[in-house]
């Protein structure tokens, strides 16, 4: 097993292909498992934020702050070799509601009956989201390989409307999200087929951005900045980086199957750029693979690194991790304080 | 010691906390205030929510780019926030949205109260000194006229009490107008001011701008400088004030020079003295020829 693990580090990791090629292999096989944050192929229990209790703060708690048909983010498409998925979620915020904290309707627990307010709390319009019950994006859609490809769900723009027709809504969900939305978060995953299964391509950056400031009026809606075309960087391209390392317990490499550690890596700066010069960030959510982990390809920059040990329930955070090149290595020692990561600290999960 | 050092150097803000300080917490339209923004995220949307003149609420957004402060362990943005041109005077709020994700781990800052002040509208006149009767065009410029207006009524008061209404154009909150000095206006001080105090709804007037009309010099008067009989209908000279003296007096055609006048007077005086002396000498001669007297 040790030899296999070393083989992963010595051969597969530099070529950056082990991350996803191993999908579907037996659990004992060392393999870095990617997590689409709200994709259909993941176990949502691995996520840090999972709404299980209905909240009494719902969409209807938020006042309408504008009068428009929709809010949108212009985006021409994504350029890639393999195609992938583009996903969007919207954020509500108002200073007079819930202390000004963010509320994400599509991550909230739904009401018992869709499209109906409930005295027991819950998001009445969860049915308008991609998944009517579990945490999800508002919408996500596939785009093909090639230059500036679009998802059918986002033809030329990412749009948040005021009303949505879905089967789960039964009748139209009149949520007025366009008039209530404060920001839209967009994430892009490249996908590739390995062993007949579609998996996230860790050989390329997963870009994300955060759109706000919907001030440009057009076609009955309000638009934010245009992002043009997005081409995710791939391994060893200029500006690409990656962090990886071994996982040790009591000085021995931990090889007891996959998925003990759940990683969340989000960029603090924004070193990627769209074709229109808009800033892009990288992110990565994945699990450890026995005695090994890899973030996959990222933009070179500073990241918030969060690791959760599912075996012990311990969480470690490093707020400002510099990942500047493809060969960054940080080994984890699960029996040490903050997993032995310099500058990291243990936090509540 | 190491523990103490670690305590002293601990970050002032909790991880994930985003703070915003505006100094001062008020500024007029077009004015700016200092921003001190601290976040775990390098890029942040700095939002200012304010009321427009039509009553609608608008949020102006700026994407700021901070630098990492090792001591604070935070990205810090020190810059300025400019109050948008369509903001109406009154209360507003500012807040920060980190550009980073996932959104639930990078909360927005608390709202910071802010006040949009009225800007100060000050007018200036150029040239500030004009010559009476010259018909000179006088320019009026001013700023800062805030509000959804494209023109403002101005009132020009001339020396002597006559007045003139002028319409000024407003572009980019700058006021521009001009008027020609009526030929009937005499020397003195005139003023230019807003005809209505609410002409610029987002501004308060600093006071009228003044200009001086000086009397024309007599020696430089030309035939065209004589008072005109035609006066602009809107210009009404005051009857209570005496008209200014004519620019030139009609000269006496035969008037000698001042030196010739003095010689003639001396000659007359001399002749009179001689006449008196001759009369006195004749009387003395007659008294000597009469011995029996």
Cα→Cα distances B181→A298, B95, B192, B215, B284, Å: 72, 52, 12, 13, 77
pLDDT score for B38:
96
Task: Answer whether A297's CB lies under 8 Å from A16's CB.
Answer: yes
- At residue A222, the 3 state secondary structure works out as strand
Give the global pTM: 0.74
Reported confidence tier of residue A49, pLDDT bands at 50, 70, 90: very low
CB A171 within 8 A of CB A245: no
pLDDT of residue A95: 87
List, for residues B168-206, the tens digit of each pLDDT value: 999 999 999 999 999 889 999 999 999 998 899 999 988
- Look at B40 and A268 and tell me if their CB atoms are within 8 Å: yes
Chain B residue numbers with beta carbons less than 8 Å from the beta carbon of A209 are: 99
Cα of A160 to nearest chain B Cα, Å: 17
How much is the ipTM here?
A: 0.82
Instruction: Give the alpha-carbon dihedral of A149, A150, A151, A152, to 10 degrees.
Output: -120
The DSSP secondary-structure symbol of B221 reads -
The phi-psi region of residue A124 (left if phi > 0; otherwise alpha if psi is between -120 and 50; otherwise beta) is: alpha
Q: What is the DSSP string of A126-168?
A: GGGSSSSSS---SEEEEE-SEEEE--TTSSSEEEEES-B--TT
Distance CA A106, CA A164 (A): 13
Q: Is the predicted pLDDT of residue A233 greater than 80, yes or no?
A: yes
**What is the C-alpha to C-alpha distance for residues A199 and A20, in angstroms, rounded to an integer?**
7
Average pLDDT for chain A: 86
Q: B228 falls in which pLDDT band (50, 70, 90)?
A: very low
* pLDDT 10s digits, B124-175: 999 999 999 888 999 999 988 999 999 999 999 999 899 999 999 999 999 9
In this model, does residue B293 exceed pLDDT 50? no
Q: Is B34 in a helix, a strand, or coil?
A: strand
- DSSP secondary structure string, A228-277? -EE---BTTSTTEE-EEEEEEETTEE--S-EEEEEEEEEESS--EE-TT-
Write phi, then psi, for B265 (nearest 5 degrees). Answer: -65, -40
Going by pLDDT thresholds of 50, 70 and 90, the confidence category of residue B63 is very high
Q: How far is Cα A77 from Cα A229, in angstroms, rounded to an integer? A: 5
Q: Please tell me which of the candidates A91, A104, A266 has its beta carbon nearest to residue B100.
A: A266
A322: which 2 tokens?
């510099």
pLDDT on residue B11: 39
> How does pLDDT run across A279-295, given as a tens digit for each residue?
999 999 999 998 999 99
pLDDT at B67 (0 to 100): 94
pLDDT, position A3: 36
Cβ-defined contact of B98 to A210 (cutoff 8 Å): yes
Question: Sorting pLDDT into bands at 50, 70 and 90, what band is B103?
Answer: confident
**Rounded average pLDDT over B24-28:** 96
Identify which of B15, B57, B100 has the shortest CB distance to residue A267: B100
DSSP A110: B
In this complex, do A268 and B47 lie within 8 Å of one another by their Cβ atoms?
A: no
What is the distance between the alpha carbons of residues A289 and A245, in angstroms, rounded to a whole number?
A: 11
Quote the pLDDT of residue A199. 87
Between chain A and chain B, how many beta carbons pairs sit less than 8 Å apart? 99
Cα(B238)–Cα(B251) distance, integer angstroms: 29
Q: Out of A65, A183, A319, whose CB is closest to B57?
A: A65
Residue B263: the pLDDT is: 56
B221: left (phi over 0), alpha (psi -120 to 50) or beta: beta
- Residue B246 pLDDT: 40
pLDDT of A22 strictly over 60? no
pLDDT at site B143: 85
Query: Residue A257: which pLDDT band, with cuts at 50, 70 and 90?
Result: confident
Q: Nearest-CA distance from A193 to chain B in Å?
A: 27
- Upper half-sphere CA count for residue B121 (Cβ side, 13 Å): 30
Q: Is B240 left (phi over 0), alpha (psi -120 to 50) or beta?
A: alpha
Residue B43: list chain A partners with CB under 8 A: 269-270, 279
Radius of gyration of chain A measured on its C-alpha atoms: 21
Q: Using a pLDDT cut of 90, give the percent of chain A over it.
A: 74
What pLDDT was estimated at residue A156? 85
Confidence of residue A256 (pLDDT cuts 50, 70, 90): confident
**What mean pLDDT do residues A81-108 have?**
93
Interfacial residues of A (vs B; Cβ cutoff 8 Å) = 37, 48-49, 65-67, 89, 91, 93, 95, 100-102, 104, 107, 182-183, 185, 187, 208-210, 212-213, 215, 264, 266-270, 279, 281, 283, 302, 304, 317, 319-320, 347
Q: Give the per-residue pLDDT at B104.
A: 84
pLDDT at position B255 over 60: no
CB within 8 A of B279, min separation 6: which ones? none
Q: In whole angstroms, what is the distance from residue B222 CA to residue B226 CA?
A: 7
Note the pLDDT tens digit of each residue in A130-188: 999 999 999 999 999 999 999 999 988 999 999 999 999 999 999 999 999 999 999 99
**Band (A27; pLDDT cuts 50, 70, 90):** very low
Q: Do B43 and A89 touch (CB under 8 A)?
A: no
What average pLDDT is seen over chain B? 79
For residues B26 and B106, the answer to whether their CB atoms sit within 8 Å is no
Number of Cβ within 10 Å of residue A195's Cβ equals: 10
What are B221's two structure tokens? 């008067």
Mean pLDDT of B73-91: 95
Q: Quick check: B187 and B223 in contact, CB under 8 A?
A: no
The CA distance from A2 to the nearest CA of chain B, in Å, is 35
- Looking at residue B265, what is its pLDDT? 62
Total Cβ atoms within 10 A of residue A302: 20
CA-closest candidate to residue A271, choices A306, A233, A304: A233
Residues 6+ apart with CB under 8 A from A132: A110, A114, A126, A166, A168
* Residue A36: per-residue pLDDT: 55
Contacts of B40 in chain A (CB under 8 A): 268, 304, 319
Residue A342, pLDDT > 50, answer yes
- A212 vs B60: CB contact, 8 Å cut-off? no
pLDDT value at B220 more than 70: no
d(CA A121, CA A108): 10
From residue B243, alpha-carbon distances to B42, B136, B185, B224, B238 in Å are: 73, 20, 9, 18, 9
| Cα distance between residue A268 and residue A223, in whole Å | 25
Q: Closest to B100 (Cβ–Cβ): which among A95, A213, A268? A: A268
B214 DSSP 8-state letter: E
- Specify the residue for token string 């299964």: A197
Q: What is the pLDDT of residue B284?
A: 61
């Amino acid at each position: 097993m040790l030899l296999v693990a070393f083989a992963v580090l010595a051969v597969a990791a530099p070529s950056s292909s082990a991350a996803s090629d191993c999908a579907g292999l037996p659990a004992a096989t060392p393999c870095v498992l990617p997590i689409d944050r709200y994709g259909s192929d993941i176990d949502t229990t691995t996520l840090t934020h999972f709404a299980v209790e209905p909240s009494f703060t719902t969409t209807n708690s938020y006042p309408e702050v504008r009068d428009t048909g929709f809010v949108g983010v212009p985006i021409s498409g994504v350029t890639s070799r393999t195609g992938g998925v583009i996903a969007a979620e919207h954020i509500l915020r108002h200073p007079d509601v819930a202390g000004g904290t963010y509320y994400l309707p599509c991550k909230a627990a739904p009401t018992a009956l869709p499209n109906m307010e409930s005295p027991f709390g819950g998001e009445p319009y969860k049915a308008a989201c991609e998944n009517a019950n579990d945490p999800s994006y508002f919408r996500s859609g596939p785009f093909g390989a090639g230059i500036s490809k679009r998802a059918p769900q986002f033809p030329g723009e990412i749009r948040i409307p005021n009303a949505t027709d879905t089967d789960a809504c039964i009748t139209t969900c009149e949520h007025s999200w366009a008039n209530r939305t404060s920001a839209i978060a967009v994430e892009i995953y490249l996908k590739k087929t390995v062993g007949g299964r579609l998996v996230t391509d860790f050989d390329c950056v997963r870009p994300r951005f955060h759109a706000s400031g919907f001030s440009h009026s057009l076609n009955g809606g309000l638009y934010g900045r245009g992002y043009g075309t997005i081409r995710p960087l791939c391994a060893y391209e200029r500006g690409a980086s990656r962090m990886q390392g071994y996982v040790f317990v009591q000085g021995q490499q931990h090889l007891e199957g996959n998925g003990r550690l759940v990683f969340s890596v989000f960029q603090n700066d924004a070193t990627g750029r769209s074709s229109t010069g808009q800033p892009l960030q990288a992110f990565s959510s994945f699990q450890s693979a026995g005695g090994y982990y890899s973030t996959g390809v990222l933009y070179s920059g500073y990241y918030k690194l969060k690791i959760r040990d599912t075996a012990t329930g311990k969480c470690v955070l490093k707020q400002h991790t510099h990942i500047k090149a493809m060969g960054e290595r940080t080994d984890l020692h699960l029996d040490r304080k903050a997993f032995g990561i310099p500058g990291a600290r243990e936090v509540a999960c | 010691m190491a523990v103490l050092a670690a305590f002293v150097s601990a970050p002032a803000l909790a991880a994930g906390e985003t703070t915003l300080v505006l100094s001062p917490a008020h500024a007029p339209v077009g004015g700016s205030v200092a921003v001190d923004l601290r976040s775990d995220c390098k890029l942040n949307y700095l939002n200012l929510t304010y009321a427009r003149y039509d009553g609608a609420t608008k949020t102006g957004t700026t994407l700021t780019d901070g630098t990492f402060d090792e001591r604070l362990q935070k990205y810090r943005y020190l810059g300025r926030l400019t109050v948008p041109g369509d903001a109406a005077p009154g209360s507003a709020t500012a807040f920060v949205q980190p550009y980073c994700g996932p959104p639930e781990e990078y909360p927005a800052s608390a709202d910071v109260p802010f006040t949009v002040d009225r800007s100060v509208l000050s007018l200036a006149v150029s040239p500030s000194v004009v010559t009476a009767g010259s018909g000179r065009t006088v320019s009026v410029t001013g700023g800062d006229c805030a509000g959804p207006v494209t023109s403002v009524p101005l009132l020009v008061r001339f020396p002597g009490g006559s007045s003139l209404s002028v319409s000024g154009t407003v572009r980019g909150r700058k006021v521009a107008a001009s008027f020609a000095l009526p030929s009937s206006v005499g020397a003195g001080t005139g003023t230019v001011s807003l005809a209505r105090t609410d002409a610029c709804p987002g501004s308060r007037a600093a006071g009228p701008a003044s200009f001086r009309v000086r009397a024309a010099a007599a020696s430089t008067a030309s035939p065209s400088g004589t008072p005109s009989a035609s006066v602009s209908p809107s210009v009404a000279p005051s009857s209570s004030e005496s008209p200014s003296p004519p620019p030139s007096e009609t000269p006496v055609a035969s008037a000698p020079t001042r030196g010739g006048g003095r010689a003639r007077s001396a000659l007359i005086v001399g002749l009179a003295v001689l006449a008196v002396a001759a009369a006195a000498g004749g009387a003395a001669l007659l008294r000597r020829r009469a011995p029996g007297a």
